[in-house]
A and B are shown apart, each in its own frame.
Chain A
Amino acid sequence: MKLHNKLFNKDYSFQNYNFKVNFSPGSFKAIIALVILSVFYCLCAPGYCETKKLMIAGSTSVQPIAEKLSEHFMQKHPNIKIEIQGGGSSAGVQAALSGAADIGMSSRDLVASESHLKTFTVAYDAIVMIVNPQNHIENISRDEIRKIFAFDITAWNKINASSECGVITVLTREDGSGTRGAFEELIMGTVEIAARALVQDSTGSIREIVANDIDAIGYISFGSLNQKVKALAVDGIKPETKSFTEADISRKYKVIRPFLFLSKEEPQGAAREFMNYIRSEEGIAIIKAEGLVPVL
């Protein structure tokens, strides 16, 4: 029995030791009092001030811009507190439906069963193909992308004979991700992404792996692009959204999708104010600075 007890005591074992330090009943009471006090502290600590709270949850692609906007917004409206939560587009839809969040974030268009939600387009986003900066390739065709993600082309020298890179490390997002949904719809079409592709569950980790692996290729949201990776031109067009306007989107860089805020009811109060802020001059400037296309 002793051994049996020991087994399930995870990694710490005690029964070799006897606990025989004398704790007087007085100090025992003191400890209990301390515990109870700290319970009260924890329960009563919530501030008494009148702050309005706004809970936003959903797509990790929308999250960076939402965080940026909310940081500036909260500076101007100290009485409103915005909490932003990742989780993913579907979680965002769920959260908006169930009321777990005031606003859900989605980086894909709603499907029919979700269409009764109220939508607010924060901005448009381009999906960019990224490679390691040491990879000398600059342009890639949509056909080549399809072949790479289907594992019909597996080496970089099949794309560019002079390439020094080796076997392609193909990175994709997990099934259900808004970015993947948009990528499949806009580029892959009917071709399936091969099962061998490495799967990561966030834009950031795809970017991080590409930054560290000379052979890697992946796709991320334009808003998440940074210096550590290189964006490829697709079919000869560089993704430079700063010069795009809403009307240009469909004509120029084809790989584009909306960033949505979702809510069950028509947004009011803090939510409405935040949305107005997003449409304000300041909000638009922030959106542009992040490389997204604002809604004018």
Chain B
Amino acid sequence: MKQAVREAFISKILLLTALSSIGALTLITVFIFAEGLPVIFKTGFFDFIFGMKWKPSRGIFSIFPMIAGSFAVMAGAMLVSVPFALCCSIYLAEFAGRTTRAIVKPAIELLAGIPSVVYGFIGVTVLVPFIKNNIGGNGFSVLGCSIVLGIMVLPTITSISYDALRAVPDSYREGALALGATRWQAVKMAVVPAAGSGIIAAVILGMGRAIGETMAVIMIAGNSLIIPLSPLDPVRTLTSNIALEMGYASGMHRQALFATGVILFVIIMALNILATRVIKRAVR
């Protein structure tokens, strides 16, 4: 009897710990929204999202240039990263030998472990002067951010698409080979399409990571408050807007930064849920 009580007690405690992650998520949502929403309502949802001017010292809060900036940088990062990551994952999953895989895969995963500040700093000291001297503009640009972010999200997209490719049953490959296809044709026509939704989910999660990255972006983006129209234009993203001004912000200004966080949070959650959906469909 005593033991049964103890067991029941333990299971309740474990349930509590299990609820910690969802509890954390709820806390984050509640606090970010509670701090951020008042400014959005005060400015008006439409004005906050689609207005052009961000002048906290005059109480003007509109973040369209930052939203545009985040998406521009994300798109650039995907252009750099997706072809690269797909090649890496296809190579690792389908063509690499055991030893090659044992070296290359952890190396690519290590790329994810390098702190983002280190990427940002190398971007500033190497990439920014390179762009200024050889391509144009002042170096702080969408282009620079795209390249660095592309490298940073490479491991995410590679390792998830790798898993998706490995999950394709061998019968697909064997079937294609039996029909006289080369291994490359088998991969191109049977394996990659079969892993399609896994790869799409990998790209969506990569997008989320690119939009959410802060420290590297703040160092390379230039943080100008304009909508970037060329790859050489400087840019300010949602994340860098928060990190840049948080230190000095107070009152309404700080709330407006939380409101920026709210928009960022919503975009990221939408991407996460989209990725989950894509995967669930694939599993069925």
Binding site for B on A (CB under 8 A): 1-4, 6-7, 10-13, 60, 86-91, 93-94, 167, 169, 174-178, 181, 184, 195-201, 212-213, 215-216
Which residue of chain B has the shortest Cβ distance to A108 in the bound complex?
B248
A4 touches B276 (CB 8 A): yes
**B159, B243, B253: the one within 8 Å of A176 (CB):** B253
- Identify which of B56, B140, B250, B280 contacts A93 (C-beta below 8 A): B250
Chain B, Cβ-Cβ closest to A205:
B219
Contacts of B164 in A (CB 8 A): 3
Q: How far is the CA of A6 from the CA of B205 in the complex (A)?
A: 12
* Interface membership of chain B positions 88-114, coded 1 if the CB is closer than 8 angstroms to chain A and 0 otherwise: 000000000000000000000100110
Number of inter-chain CB pairs below 8 Å? 112
Beyond contacts A3-B163, A199-B224: 5 other A-B pairs, Cβ-Cβ < 8 A, are A7-B279, A87-B247, A197-B224, A198-B140, A198-B224
Pairwise interchain contact A178-B248, C-beta atoms closer than 8 A: yes
B207 cross-chain contacts in A, Cβ below 8 A: none
- Please tell me if B57 contacts chain A, counting CB pairs below 8 Å: yes
Per-position contact with A for B246-264: 1 when CB-CB < 8 Å, else 0?
0111100110000000000
**Please, which residues of chain B bring their CB within 8 A of the CB of A177?**
248
Q: Which residues of B contact A181 (CB under 8 A)?
A: 57
Question: Chain B, 105-128, contact with A by CB distance < 8 Å: what is the 0/1 string?
Answer: 000010011000000000000000
B212 at the interface (CB under 8 A from A): no
Among B55, B65, B139, B224, which residue has the most Cβ atoms of chain A within 10 A? B224
B85 to chain A, nearest CB (A): 12
A91 touches B132 (CB 8 A): no
Interface SS majority for chain A: mixed
**Given known contacts A1-B283, A4-B279, A10-B156, is B248 in contact with A174 (CB within 8 Å)?**
yes
Contact B226 A201 (CB under 8 A): no
Query: Which residues of B183-208 have CB atoms within 8 Å of chain A's CB atoms?
Result: 198, 201-202, 205
Interface centre among A94, A174, A178, A201 (most CB of B within 10 A): A174
Q: Is the CB of A174 within 8 A of B245?
A: yes
Cβ-based interface call for B138 (8 A)? yes
Q: Does B225 contact A (CB under 8 A)?
A: yes
Q: Which residues of A contact B159 (CB under 8 A)?
A: 11-13
Chain B residues contacting A87 (CB-CB under 8 Å) are 247-248
A200 to B120, alpha carbons, bound, how many Å? 14
Q: How far is the CA of A198 from the CA of B244 in the complex (A)?
A: 12
* In the bound complex, CA of A13 to CA of B158 (Å): 12
Contacting pair A91 B247 (CB below 8 A): yes
Contact of B282 with A by CB under 8 A: yes
Contact across chains for A213 and B248 when beta carbons are under 8 A apart? no
Q: Which residue from B222, B244, B250 sits with its C-beta under 8 Å from A91?
A: B250
19 A-B pairs whose Cβ atoms sit less than 8 Å apart in the complex: A3-B279, A3-B283, A7-B275, A10-B156, A11-B156, A12-B109, A13-B159, A86-B247, A87-B248, A90-B250, A93-B250, A174-B248, A175-B248, A176-B249, A195-B65, A198-B138, A199-B236, A200-B223, A213-B132
Separation of A1 and B218 alpha carbons in the complex (Å): 37
Contacts of A216 in B (CB 8 A): 138
- Pick from A4, A91, A169: contact of B280, CB below 8 A: A4
Contact across chains for A167 and B138 when beta carbons are under 8 A apart: yes
A3 to B202, CA, bound (A): 11
Q: How far is the CA of A13 from the CA of B56 in the complex (A)?
A: 44
Tell me the smallest distance from the CB of A16 to a CB of chain B, in Å: 8
A7 touches B205 (CB 8 A): yes
Assess the B248–A88 pair: CB atoms within 8 A.
yes
CB distance from B155 to the nearest CB of A (A): 5
User: Bound complex: CA of A5 vs CA of B261, how far in Å?
Assistant: 27
**Bound Cα distance A94, B201 (Å):** 43
Closest residue on chain A to residue B52 by CB atoms: A195
Closest 4 CB pairs of A and B: A88-B248, A176-B248, A88-B247, A90-B250
Determine the chain A residues whose CB is within 8 A of the CB of B57 once the complex forms. Answer: 175-176, 181, 184
CB of B109 within 8 A of CB of A11, answer: yes
> A199 to B275, Cβ gap below 8 A?
no
Set of chain A residues within 8 Å of B160, measured between Cβ atoms: 6-7
Most buried by B among A87, A176, A184: A176
Give every chain B residue within 8 A of A213 (Cβ-Cβ).
Answer: 132, 138-139
Contact B156 A90 (CB under 8 A): no
CB distance from A215 to the nearest CB of B (A): 7
Chain B neighbourhood of A13, CB < 8 A: 159, 163
